[in-house]
Amino acid sequence: MALHDDPRRFLLHLFEAAIRAVQPATCLSRHLPAPPKGRLVILAAGKAAASMAAAAEEFYDARWPNTKIEGMAVTRYGHTCPTRHVKVCEAGHPFPDAAGTQAATDFLALANSLGPDDYGLVLLSGGASALLALPLSGVSIEEKQSLTRQLLASGAPIAEVNCVRSHLSRIKGGRLAEAIHPAPILTLAISDVAGNDPTIIGSGPTVPTTTTSQDALKVIEHYAVTTTQNLIHCLETAPPPPASTDPCFEAHRFTIVASGSQALAAAATLAREAGCDVTIVGDELEDDAQALATSHARMAKSPTNPGVPRLILSGGEATVTLGKSPGAGGPNQEFSLALALQLQGERNIYALACDTDGIDGGSGGTDDPAGAFISPTTLHRATALGLDPEMALKNHDAGTFFGKLDDLVTTGPTRTNVNDFRAILISE
């Protein structure tokens, strides 16, 4: 479409192209192995778990219809899809719940049932860390919920959050691989992690961890997390996860099947076809949402070729450090509001920032917004409605702000997740 006709629609088209590029149906099949002599056991966890399991089933049913498939997928509430052989369970995200604990218990039991003639196909995607909630013996789900809430509210990077999750778990940090052994394992991951580090994706259930319980304790101390002496004691005395030399890792392969770079590349291709000069800043940007907005505004306002529309694309993970009374919204909405304030109605600049899983903060429901859109008229329209954008930003209430402007982007669950998608159009 002609981007001058409707910049908002154009940016939405780019977001949709990005999502299509990282759907399991698009990216999974070429990585799937031939079926084993015994069972093919699918163990899927994350926001894309059900759609990844369904894509794998479709591949084997079409190519090797006699494959003995069974398995389990644990996904976020509302992110399911129909499957033929794999049982789908729903659980809490981003905060673990009892359903996640039961699902993880069943998940581990199924993993322990594999024999040498079977094959463990582990399908990971963003959200797996929260969804597979199986705390160390002696640690309650309530203790883990409290810890998770505080870490996420602190603005801690996901690598540090998942370090703690890994060492508090009976299934993460390579322990799932330990359970699947002696069966061979292939882990296929849709990465929502900057740098695509296998130890961070889903807190590394099938790979040896590179951190220790002491590292986890340091994270808790650094962010002044209030927790129980019981949890600290359990961390200090927990048996170590399997070492990198453990036999369970000998017959294991790990492959990234989709990541933010693929999503951005798909959007860039579409934008270039429309005549845009495209700059991909990177898919690994991790920083506070407001800090990211400042750097992106600077790029958007930099000199450009007259008459040539320009598009700035980036991904990664924006974070927000919440106050005591946070409002509504998520990191992408906060980025959008901060960007609007930085641009101050700058002519011909439009932007869209969304979470690729379709849910950016909010109540956790499937009708929560994916993100928000801004235009040169955003602040003017807000003033006309009596809205205070600076106060909304201070109170982390971007969701309410954009809701009143009808500038929220709502997609529903996309059933994939490669983290944030940011697109800024400078339309000449």
Domains within the chain, CATH numbers bracketed? 7-19+260-426 (3.40.1480.10), 23-258 (3.40.50.10180)
Amino acid identity, residue 287? D
pLDDT, residue 307, reads 83
Higher pLDDT, 324 or 2: 324
pLDDT, residue 2, reads 55
pLDDT, residue 26, reads 95
Provide mean pLDDT across the span 105-132. Answer: 96
Nearest to 265 by CA among 320, 315, 318, 304: 315
pLDDT, residue 301, reads 93
Provide mean pLDDT across the span 337-342. Answer: 98
Sign of CA dihedral 208, 214, 216, 222: negative
Look at residue 354 and tell me whether its pLDDT is greater than 70: yes
State the chain's mean pLDDT as an integer.
Answer: 94
- Beta strands in 93-248, from DSSP E residues, in sequence order: 119-125, 185-190
Q: For residue 278, what are the CA distances in angstroms to 235, 299, 308, 313, 392?
A: 47, 12, 10, 7, 31
Provide mean pLDDT across the span 179-202. Answer: 95
Higher pLDDT, 149 or 393: 393
pLDDT, residue 327, reads 80
- Tell me the percentage of the chain whose pLDDT exceeds 70: 98
- Confidence category of residue 146, pLDDT binned at 50, 70, 90: very high
Residue written as tokens 């949890």? 231
Ramachandran category for residue 348: left, alpha or beta (phi over 0 → left; psi -120 to 50 → alpha): left
pLDDT, residue 152, reads 86
Which range (14-23, 110-119, 162-171) has the least confidence? 162-171
pLDDT digits (tens, 9 = 90+) for 251-288: 999 999 999 999 999 999 999 999 999 999 999 999 99
Look at residue 362 and tell me whether its pLDDT is greater than 80: no
Provide mean pLDDT across the span 332-337. Answer: 98
- How many angstroms separate the first and last alpha carbons of the chain? 16
- Confidence category of residue 376, pLDDT binned at 50, 70, 90: very high
Provide mean pLDDT across the span 17-27. Answer: 97
pLDDT, residue 325, reads 66
214: which 2 tokens?
């002491």
Look at residue 53 and tell me whether its pLDDT is greater than 90: yes
Q: For residue 114, what are the CA distances in angstroms to 19, 36, 70, 108?
A: 34, 12, 11, 11
pTM over the 0.85 mark: yes
